Amino acid sequence: MIITNRERIFQVVLGIPAGRVATYGQVADLAGLPRAARLVGGTLKALPEDSKLPWHRVVNAHGRISLPMEGHGQIQQQRLEDEGILFLNGKIDLANYRWRPC
- pLDDT tens for each residue of 34-61: 999 999 999 999 999 899 999 999 999 9
Q: Does 101 reside within a domain?
A: no
How does residue 102 score in pLDDT terms, banded at 50, 70 and 90?
confident
Range of the domain at 68: 5-96
Read off the CATH number of the domain in which 28 is found: 1.10.10.10
pTM, rounded to two decimals: 0.95
Specify the number of domains making up the chain.
1
Left if phi > 0, otherwise alpha if psi is -120 to 50, otherwise beta: which for 29? Answer: alpha
Q: Does 50 reside within a domain?
A: yes
